Amino acid sequence: AVLMCRGKATQDFTGPDCRFVNFKKGEAVYVYYKLIGESTELWAGSVGSDFGYFPKDLLEINHNYSNEELELPTDETDFVCF
């Protein structure tokens, strides 16, 4: 996966299920995918060693790594809950 950008969480977030990544306000969030289709409000990335979806509105971007936007249809990126 290509690292697209890094941001800082503007507030705490707890996802509805295991496909989402949880974070606290001020934590660094690394973005790998911006989803298109039904979930345009969701990006996928990592916080620490956890990976998952999160609402892009909760992120304040402070560094862009890639000018290439990697957009994936949501049906190809759906995670499975283990």
Convert the pLDDT of each residue in 48-63 to its tens digit. Answer: 999 999 999 999 999 8
Give the mean pLDDT of 17-45. Answer: 88
Structural domain of 28: 2-68
2 pLDDT tier (thresholds 50, 70, 90) = confident
Give the mean pLDDT of 3-23. Answer: 94
Output the domain CATH number for residue 35: 2.30.30.40
**Does 73 reside within a domain?**
no
User: What is the reported pTM?
Assistant: 0.75
**Does 6 reside within a domain?**
yes
Alpha-carbon span 1 to 14, nearest angstrom = 24
Question: Given this model, what pLDDT does residue 41 score?
Answer: 87
Q: Is residue 17 classed exposed, middle or buried when 0-12, 13-18 and 19+ CB atoms within 10 A define those classes? A: exposed
**Does 48 reside within a domain?**
yes
Type of residue numbered 52: G
**Does 16 reside within a domain?**
yes
What's the half-sphere exposure (Cβ side, CA atoms, 13 Å) at 72? 15
